[in-house]
């Protein structure tokens, strides 16, 4: 195949390039797509993004359906053929507004461009057969093979479904799986140092951009679909930050004061760091720690765009912060590296790349970061832990083990600090867990301790 040297001519071809990059280079689509869609008309760019994202979202179901009718296993094909078939199958299975004949014909054209006569014939025969069977696929029985049914019906790794079924009922697990495929809204956080939510909403409306207040997180605005919130002059001039609603819950739960000295031990790309600075009226001191230089540059860029003066980026491993470089903090945020399984509706690539064994390894790292924070925190200081996952190894098990290791830290109840619209829907206990199916939010876990004097 010579597809890597061809410039995409259409949305489908651009999506194909992105899917091959996803597979061969382990690229995330949001990084792979711009280079292959920038030269296309706006409507073609939007379609390419939709096609590539949907194909990854439904990957296991698509492969299962193709393998039902293919003489050769999909995994034995070249990346270009395999991903062309996946892309076309997604249209047949999930995009009713695209006629089946159009999806098949476009696939055959691409097969000729990226292969040979035999590839075109394979694509034509296989996709036509799949098209004829789309309404009669042999799904596993929900009652007899719940794990397989949910995994294929809702495109979730079976190991993850099994874990959920051990903790929750079949009905709730199905609700979670279904919600994990729903596209989340784009939300923005007004820079409170520059404008209130109402003022920003008025400015955007005057430019023809109609936003609505978040029904769940006060102060956040929901940005309209189909447009790029990073492409406006309002964003470039620092009037707002693009941030998920669950993520925007985190910084306020540290309850920072303008006089505080705060360390953010895992600060890239800077959303929570800059939120802290805004909540502190850009006073006090915030040390943004990040161990990768390229990611530290993301923080520096965000700080400059928002014109913040209180944030000092530091290139360091959060587990080994040099005490000579930072004063003793009164508060620490550990927004730790995690599996990311709470945000698979935003980044579907995650669910296919994570393995169950990763959870224990990540727990080790999370506890190392918390232990490091415990040693440098001022007595009476606050330690906030957050992860974008709901898996026990990274959530309840972490707080239990940290509390065991550090009896001088008291776990505090965060529920009174949560917006009232959320409080009644949360599980009991001092920590906070949000879910896509219960709260229409990303899956997040947040806990806070206070170090005893």
Closest CA relative to residue 377, chosen from 423, 326, 340: 326
**Mean pLDDT lowest for which of 79-93, 236-250, 421-435?**
421-435
Whether the model pTM is above 0.85: yes
Closest CA relative to residue 315, chosen from 293, 285, 287, 286: 293
Reply yes or no on whether the pLDDT at 1 is more than 50.
Answer: no
Work out the average pLDDT over 347-374. 97
Supply the pLDDT for residue 444: 98
Question: What pLDDT digit, counting tens, does each position of 112-142 carry?
Answer: 988 777 899 999 999 999 999 999 999 999 9
- 251 phi and psi, to 5 degrees? -55, -45
Can you tell me which residue has the tokens 């507004």? 97
| Spatial separation of the C-alpha atoms in residues 104 and 120, rounded to whole Å | 10
Supply the pLDDT for residue 428: 83
Q: Using pLDDT thresholds of 50, 70 and 90, give the confidence band for residue 202.
A: very high
Reply yes or no on whether the pLDDT at 5 is more than 70.
Answer: no
How far is CA 386 from each of CA 194, 249, 328, 396, 446, rounded to the nearest angstrom?
Answer: 27, 10, 21, 11, 4
Supply the pLDDT for residue 325: 78
CB atoms within 10 A of CB 324: 5
- Contacts of residue 169, defined as CB under 8 A and 6 or more positions apart, other chains included, come to none
Closest CA relative to residue 149, chosen from 182, 183, 173, 181: 173
Ordered DSSP codes for 171-238: HHHHHHHHHTTSPPPEEEEE-TTT--HHHHHHHHHHTT---EE-SSSTT-EEEPTTS-GGGSHHHHTT
| Residue 447, strand partner residues | 385
Secondary structure in 3-state letters for 100-163: HHHHHHHHHHHHHHHCCHHHHHHHHHHHHHHHHHHHHCCCCCCCCCHHHHHHHHCCCCHHHHHH
Q: Using pLDDT thresholds of 50, 70 and 90, give the confidence band for residue 4.
A: very low
CB atoms within 10 A of CB 118: 9
Q: Using pLDDT thresholds of 50, 70 and 90, give the confidence band for residue 161.
A: very high
Question: What pLDDT digit, counting tens, does each position of 404-415 carry?
Answer: 999 999 999 999
Q: Which domains does the chain have, with CATH numbers?
A: 3-136 (1.10.940.10), 146-179 (no CATH), 186-242 (3.30.70.1170), 246-451 (3.40.50.150)
| Spatial separation of the C-alpha atoms in residues 162 and 360, rounded to whole Å | 17
| Spatial separation of the C-alpha atoms in residues 26 and 257, rounded to whole Å | 41
Task: Characterize the bridge pairing of strands 331-335 and 261-264.
Answer: parallel
Q: Which tokens belong to 257?
A: 């004061």
Q: Hey, which residues are catalytic here?
A: 388
| Spatial separation of the C-alpha atoms in residues 48 and 50, rounded to whole Å | 5
Q: Using pLDDT thresholds of 50, 70 and 90, give the confidence band for residue 83.
A: very high
Work out the average pLDDT over 301-323. 94
Supply the pLDDT for residue 323: 79
Which string of b and e fits 238-262 if b means at least 16 CB within 10 Å? bbbbebbbbbbbbbbbbebeeebbb
Between residues 238 and 322, the one the model is more confident about: 238
């Amino acid at each position: 195949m010579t597809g890597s040297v061809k410039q995409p001519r259409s949305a489908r071809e651009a999506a194909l390039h992105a899917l091959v990059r996803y597979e061969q280079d382990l690229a995330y689509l949001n990084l792979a797509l711009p280079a292959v869609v920038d030269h296309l008309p706006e409507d073609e760019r939007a379609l390419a993004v939709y096609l590539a994202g949907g194909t990854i979202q439904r990957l296991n179901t698509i492969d299962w359906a193709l393998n039902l009718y293919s003489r050769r296993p999909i995994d034995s094909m070249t990346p270009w053929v395999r991903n062309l078939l996946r892309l076309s199958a997604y249209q047949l299975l999930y995009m009713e507004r695209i006629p089946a004949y159009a999806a098949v014909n476009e696939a055959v054209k691409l097969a000729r461009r990226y292969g040979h006569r035999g590839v075109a014939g394979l694509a034509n025969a296989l996709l036509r057969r799949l098209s004829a069977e789309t309404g009669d696929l042999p799904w596993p029985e929900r009652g007899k093979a719940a794990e397989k049914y949910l995994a294929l019906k809702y495109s979730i790794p079976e190991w993850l479904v099994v874990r959920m079924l051990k903790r929750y009922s079949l009905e709730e697990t199905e609700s979670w799986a279904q919600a994990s495929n729903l596209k989340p809204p784009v939300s923005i956080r007004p820079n409170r140092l520059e404008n209130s939510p109402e003022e920003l909403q008025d400015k955007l409306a005057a430019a023809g951009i109609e936003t609505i207040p978040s029904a769940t997180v006060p102060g956040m605005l929901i940005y309209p679909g189909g447009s790029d919130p990073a492409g406006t002059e309002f964003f470039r001039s620092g009037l707002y930050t693009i941030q998920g609603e669950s993520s925007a819950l985190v910084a306020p739960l540290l309850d920072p004061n303008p006089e505080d000295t705060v360390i953010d031990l895992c600060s890239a790309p800077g959303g929570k760091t800059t939120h802290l600075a805004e909540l502190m009226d850009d006073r006090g001191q915030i040390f943004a720690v990040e161990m990768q230089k390229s990611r530290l540059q993301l923080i520096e860029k965000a700080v400059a765009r928002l014109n913040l003066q209180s944030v000092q980026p530091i290139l360091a491993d959060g587990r080994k912060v040099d005490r000579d470089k930072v004063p003793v903090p009164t508060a620490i945020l550990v927004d730790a590296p995690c599996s990311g399984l709470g945000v698979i509706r935003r980044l579907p690539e995650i669910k296919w790349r994570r393995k169950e064994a990763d959870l224990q390894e990540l727990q080790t790292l999370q506890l190392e970061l918390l232990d490091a924070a415990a040693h440098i925190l001022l007595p009476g200081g606050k330690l906030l832990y957050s992860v974008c996952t709901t898996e026990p190894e990274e959530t309840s098990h972490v707080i239990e083990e940290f509390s065991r290791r550090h009896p001088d830290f008291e776990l505090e109840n965060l529920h009174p600090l949560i917006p009232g619209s959320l409080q009644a829907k949360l599980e009991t206990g001092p920590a906070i867990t949000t879910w896509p199916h219960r709260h229409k939010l990303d899956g997040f876990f947040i806990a806070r301790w206070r170090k005893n004097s």
